[in-house]
Amino acid sequence: MMRILGVLGLLAALYAGLVGTYVDNAPGFEPASRTQERIQGNLIDVASIQGRYGVITLGAALVIITGGIDLSIGAVVGFSAVLFGVLTERGVHPFVALPLVVACGGFVGWVNGLLITRLKLQPFLVTLCGMFVYRGAARLLAGTVSRTATVEAQPDFAGSLQFLRYVLVGKDSTGELQFPAQFVVLLVLAAVVGFFLHRSAYGRYWFAIGHNELAAKYAGVNVDRQRAWVYVVCSALAGLAGVLLFLDSAYVQADSGGQYLELYAILGAVLGGCSLRGGEGTAVGMVLGAMVLPVLENLVTIRGLKSDLIPTVIGLTLLAGTILDEFIRRRQRARH
């Protein structure tokens, strides 16, 4: 609970800053309703990005809860986007390609999991190698992929692709963003993850493993299997995020699609209350944590900050948020 207060405070401040910027900058002649409309439009843009971040954050957070780490997330996102593009371009129906890509992501996670649990390799190392491998695999598949290329090659798929795009990304056939569907996807997935994490036996196993793998093993938990599963889920979610990226973007470039996302996902998870020592985290926290970076980036962009200033401002804000969070937790702890 208290783990959530810090990130909530941070988010509140950022959103307040955002709305304040719009209100302050509203031209004198503009009616308030118009300002509100513009704010809303911008918040939808942000929510859309938050949704996709959130999806991978969920996966990263689960891995972190079990005491692991996955640095291959960004590469898997890129790979999956490219794979989806290549598959559909070559005639695999989008409705088939979607589960296929997600399954493929899951397979990647299974390989990661096997290497980590069977060969007892360090997760950092395995997934760092994975980062190279899957990035390379994407490049071997294609240089770039795009909806237009797919539709050109497979005109029949236009409708189904557009359907997926509307349902998963919220963009209509003209490309207009109607609603932040990706955020809806995130909420649905977060509910599922939250159920498993907080309401089912599996969640207990994951927390137990994260805190004390040996104790979990001695209590009869199949530690290897559970850990492997968590990697599967993480990479499958990255696979889904890849499809979202494909559907949302003008085009995806194999060498860079999804770049840095593993860091952002881990950041979101940690801001949301996961400890990299394992054993801590909540589904609500993950969603909140994932919301931070996109709104922060939006805020600095909207305020027209000089590009050279942006990284510093982002870094310092995140740090301030982290410190705030720590103080709130200390307070709470002292009170009890």
Partner 1 sequence: GKKDTAAKPKVGIITNCVDPFWDLCEAGANKAAKDFDVELVFNQPKSGDGDIQKPVIDAWVSQGFSGIGVSVIKPKEQTDDLKLVAKKSVLVTMDNDAPDSGRVCYVGVDNKEAGRAVGRLVKKALPNGGTVALFIGSVTSANGQARPAGVLEELATPDKNGLAGRHPSRPELSGKFYGNYFLVDGEPKIDDMVKEKAASNAQAMLSRLDGVPDVCMVGLYAYNPPSILEAVRSKNLVGKVKIVGFDENQETLKAIADGHIEGTVVQDPYNYGYKTVEVLAAEARGDKTKRVAGSAPYQVITRDGGPDQTINSLHIKFPKAGDYLTAMREQLASVKR
Partner 2 sequence: MTTPRVTAAAVSKRFPGVVALDRVSLTLAPGEVLAVVGENGAGKSTLMKILAGVYQPDEGAVELDGRPVRFAGPAEATAAGVVLIHQELNLAENLTVADNLFLGREVTAGGKLLVLNNRVMTERAAALLARVGLPADRVTRRVETLPPGEKQLVEIARALGTAVRVLIMDEPTSSLTQRETERLYEVIDALRRDGVSVLYISHRLAEVKRCADRVTVLRDGKNAGELARADVTHDNMVRLMVGRDMKSFYPKVHRSGTGGKPVLSLAGLRYRNGPDTPVSLDVRAGEILGMAGLVGAGRTELAEAVFGVRQLAAGSLTLDGRPLTVKSPADAIRAGVFLVPEDRRLHGLVTAESVGFNLSLPNLDRLRSRFGLHRRAEAALHATWIEKLRVKTPSAAQTVGLLSGGNQQKVVYGKWLARGPRVLVLDEPTRGVDVGAKAEIYALVDELAGRGVAVWMITSDMEELLGMSDRVVVMHEGHLAGELAGAAVTEEAVMRLATGGEAG
Binding site for partner 1 (CB under 8 A): 22-30, 34, 38-39, 41-42, 45, 49, 81, 139, 142-144, 146-149, 171, 174-177, 245, 248-261, 294, 297-298, 301-302, 304, 306-308, 311
> 133 contacts which partner out of a copy of itself, partner 2, partner 1, none, CB within 5 to 8 A by kind?
a copy of itself
Q: For residues 53 and 229, is the Cβ–Cβ distance under 8 A?
A: no
Three-state SS across 85-137? HHHHHCCCCHHHHHHHHHHHHHHHHHHHHHHHHCCCCCHHHHHHHHHHHHHHH
Distance CA 261, CA 73 (A): 7
In terms of CB distance, is 142 or 184 closer to a copy of itself? 142
Looking at this protein, which amino acid is placed at residue 229? W
Residue 240 sits in the site that holds a copy of itself (CB under 8 A): no
Bridge partners (DSSP) listed for residue 177: 171
Distances in whole angstroms, Cα of residue 212 to Cα of each of 66, 233, 270: 9, 21, 19
Cβ–Cβ contacts within 10 Å for residue 233, how many?
22
Which of these ranges, 90-98, 130-138, 149-157, 234-242, lies near a copy of itself under the rule CB under 8 A?
130-138
Q: Residue 172 or 326: which CB sits closer to partner 1? A: 172
CB nearer to partner 1: pick between 112 and 150: 150
The one segment of 50-58, 170-178, 203-211, 308-316 that binds partner 2 by CB under 8 A = 203-211
| Binding partner selected for residue 267 from a copy of itself, partner 1, partner 2, none, CB under the kind-specific 5 to 8 Å limit | a copy of itself
Spell 27-66 as b/e; 16+ CB within 10 A means b: eeeeeeeebeeebeebbeebbbbbbbbbbbbbbbbbbbbb
Instruction: Please give the Cα distance from 52 to 70 (Å, whole number).
Output: 17
Q: Which is nearer to a copy of itself, 164 or 266 (CB)?
A: 266
Terminal CA-to-CA distance of the chain, rounded, Å? 14
**Among 12, 23, 191, 319, contact with a copy of itself (rule: CB under 8 A):** 319
**Interface positions with partner 2 (CB under 8 A):** 195, 199-202, 204-205, 207-208, 210-212, 214-222, 279-280, 333-334, 336
**Interface positions with a copy of itself (CB under 8 A):** 71, 115, 119-122, 124-126, 128-137, 139-140, 254, 263, 266-267, 270-271, 275-276, 307-316, 318-319, 322-323, 326
